Structure formats: structure tokens, C-alpha cells
Amino acid sequence: MLGPVILAASRSDRMRRLISAAPVTKQVVDRFIPGETVDGILPIVRQLTDNGLELTMDVVGEDITTPEQAEAARDAYLELIDRLKPLELGERAEMSVKLSMFGQALPGGHELALANVRPVVEAAAEIGTTVTLDAEDHTTLDSMFAIHEELRKDFPQTGCVIQAYLFRTEEDARRLAAAGSRVRLVKGAYKEPAEVAYQQKHEIDKAYVRILRTLMEGEGYPMIGSHDPRLIAIAQELARTAGRKLDEYEFQMLYGIRGEEHLRLAAEGHRMRVYTAYGTDWYGYFMRRLAEKPANLRFFARSMITK
Ligand code: FDA
């Protein structure tokens, strides 16, 4: 029951101010967001890639309120890409972006987000890598898919995320499972109403498997975004049945969650990409990680009491 309460708090400005200012929070946040600056995150990039892992990099931030903040988000990604260039990682380090951080919710936001994200996609292509558009709450998705389609005209490798908990996603998956597409399937991390989304874990898991089958049997490149051991085993089985080789799909997990599993899958020869978030505007990302696992909240609360 705690999950929905924490997700509601993740959108509250008052809670944002309170939690962001709490003196001990940073320590707990570091588990999921292991750096605040590019200088802080580059050693983590090196460490993960030295261990045979790939990355998708996220500059944390969302729901910005001015066009200047959207431009700052764009510039933060451009700086990151510039600093990644000498490492010559190519597609081993791709970018994940949230369009709400690029201005999507502002007046004229669809065009603004497209204008701000395009230079990031161009810069990524110049260093041999690509960008995946994260999926946010369901009201933003028509705009996200339209921007995805527009970007793919010039950069066909641009990826997108679909969420198994939404009723619409089976249809989206059928449309997206076409040659050349890159699609990350996740369960979904936002608080969604019963009119648009499954609410029960077992329903979401069943939908995940149906959608994953569509992606695996299709012609695109499936990216399995989950830490769920059952779904990972099913994904391996579906890939085998669909006749996919190890480099024709990949697993993705979040930094700070099931790190040993990242290494185990990579050692088995799988492509394993770690979603690595950094930056100072970590509140929304951090709260979604708390909501996913109530034990995280207990750990967080204990750290505040014992300090
Ligand atoms: P589930 O929640 O059932 O967890 C399975 C197991 O994993 C748990 O039992 C626990 O051991 C571990 N675990 C999961 N979450 C944990 C946590 N926070 N802390 C500690 N342990 C945890 N969502 C979205 O709406 N839009 C998006 O764009 C993305 N992008 C994205 C990228 C990648 C690479 C991943 C892995 C996930 C996302 N998500 C996302 C988040 C996703 O929707 C979902 O909320 C989480 O992945 C948790 O779901 P699982 O599939 O891991 O299963």
C-alpha cells in the first residue's frame, strides 16, 4: 500500500523541498544516483564498462517549469556526450532522456521538447551512439511516440520505452516491433488510474510476458528493462524460441539494484546495460525507486533516525 503514497509524494513540491534538504538523504540517494556532476560520474562509467557492462546515461530531472531549464537540460546532455567522446565507448554508452525535462509540459511543449532533444540525438550519433526516450506518465505518451517517430526519420536507431502496466501498450508494441526499432519494455513506474492501467502485480507481469513475446517475435531489437528474476528467465526462453542470438536483444537494469545479476548476465555472454543516473535534481527518480520496494523506505527512514 505504501507504493502509491510514495508515488503521490514524488509529485509534491513540499515533499521535494523537505526530502531534498534532509541532511542524511544524500548518503541513501547515492545508492541509486552515484554522482552529481559529469566529473563525479565518469569514474563509474569506466568501472562499469571495465566490468563488461554497457550503460544508458540519465541526467536526472523532470517536470521543469521554464524554457531556460529545458535548455539547461539539453546542455547538460551535450556536455556529457562531449566528455564521453574521448572514451570512445560508442554504443556501449547511450543516453536516456525524459522529454518532460526538455520542456514537453510547457506551452508549445511538443515542439519545444523536439527542438531541445534533437541536438542531443545528433551529438550522440556523432560519437557513435544513440538516445532512448523514457516513458513518463500516460498523458505524455502520444507526444513522446510522435517525437520518437520524427527523430527516427533521421536517426532510425533512436529508441523508446513502453510500459507493460498500460492497456494501450500491447497495441504500441505491435506497431513498434518492426525492423530497425529499439524498444525497452518496463513494468511502469508512475501512479496510473485503473481506467488506463493494470493495478495488480500479477496482471502487469502477465502483460509484460505477452508484450515481450510480441517484441521477441518481431523484427526490432528488444531491451528487457526489469530486475524480476522470473521475467528474466522467461525472456531468455522467449529469445531462444524466437531464434534470437545473444546480440539480438539485451537486458537493462538500474544502477544500484541487483548488481551481482548485472555481472552474472554479462558473464553468460548477454548484453547487459546499466541505467546510470546522475545529477542534482534526483528527487523524482529517487522517490520512484523507494516506491518500487518498501524495504528501501525502511532503510531510508532508519538512516534519518540513526543520524
Ligand atoms: P519488480 O518491481 O517486481 O522487482 C523485481 C525485483 O527487483 C524485486 O523483488 C527486487 O529484488 C528488485 N527491485 C526492483 N526495484 C527495486 C528497487 N527500487 N530497489 C531495490 N530492489 C528493487 N519505468 C517507467 O515508467 N519509464 C521508464 O522509462 C523506465 N525506464 C527504466 C529503465 C530501466 C533500465 C529499468 C530497469 C527500469 C525502468 N523503469 C521505467 C522502471 C520500471 O518501470 C519498474 O518500476 C522497475 O524496473 C521495477 O520493476 P521490475 O521489473 O524490476 O520488477
Distance CA 18, CA 15 (A): 5
**Ligand 1 contact, 44 CB (< 6 A):** no
Model-level pTM? 0.95
What's the gap in Å between 82 CA and the centre of ligand 1? 29
Q: Is residue 138 in contact with ligand 1, taking CB distance under 6 Å?
A: no
Q: Which three cell numbers stand for residue 45?
A: 562509467
C-beta of residue 63 within 8 angstroms of C-beta of residue 284? yes
> Is-contact 284 7, C-beta < 8 A?
no
Closest residue by CA, ligand 1 atom 32: 225
Residue whose C-alpha cell reads 539547461 in the numeric block: 72
Sole residue written with cell 531489437: 221
By most ligand atoms within 8 Å of CB, the mutation choice from 163, 276, 292 for ligand 1 is 292
Query: pLDDT value at position 303?
Result: 65
How confident is the model at residue 1, as a pLDDT? 63
Give the C-alpha separation, 197 to 162, whole Å.
13
How far away, in angstroms, is 227 Cα from ligand 1 center?
Answer: 6
pLDDT along the chain (307 residues), means of 10: 78 80 76 95 97 97 92 98 98 98 97 98 98 98 98 98 98 96 97 97 98 98 98 98 98 97 98 97 90 80 60
Residue of 63, 74, 92, 134 with catalytic role: 134
CA 271/CA 168 separation, integer angstroms: 28
Task: For ligand 1, say whether the CB of 223 is within 6 Å of any of its atoms.
Answer: no
* pLDDT on residue 306: 52
- Separation of alpha carbons 184 and 144, rounded Å: 14
Angle between helices 67-84 and 38-50 (to 10 degrees): 40
Do the Cβ atoms of 177 and 183 come closer than 8 Å?
yes
Query: Cα(59) to centroid of ligand 1, in Å?
Result: 18
Nearest CA to ligand 1 atom 1: 228
Q: How far apart are CA 171 and CA 194, in angstroms?
A: 18
SS3 131: strand
Where does 226-302 show beta strands of DSSP type E? 250-254, 272-278
Question: Quick one: cell of 51?
Answer: 566490468
* Alpha carbon nearest to ligand 1 atom 21, residue: 257
Domains of the chain in start order, with CATH, are 33-281 (3.20.20.220)
Query: 291 alpha carbon to ligand 1 midpoint, in Å?
Result: 10
Q: How far is the CA of 67 from the centre of ligand 1 (A)?
A: 30
| Nearest protein CA to atom 12 of ligand 1, as residue | 227
Alpha-carbon distances of 233 from 90, 225, 236, rounded to whole Å: 29, 13, 5
Whether ligand 1 lies within 6 angstroms of the CB of 134 is answered as: yes
**24: which residues sit within 8 A by CB, 6+ positions away?**
303, 304, 307
Going along the chain, which residue ranges are E strands? Answer: 54-59, 93-97, 131-133, 159-163, 182-186, 221-225, 250-254, 272-278
Q: State phi, psi for 215 to the nearest 5 degrees.
A: -65, -45
Question: Cell numbers of 264, please?
Answer: 552474472
Burial string for 213-243 (b: 16+ CB within 10 Å, else e) reads bbbbebebbbbbbbbeeebbebbbebbeeee
Q: What is the ipTM, given to two decimal places?
A: 0.98
* Residue 188 alpha carbon, nearest atom of ligand 1: 43
- To the query of whether residue 184 is one of the catalytic residues in this protein, the response is yes
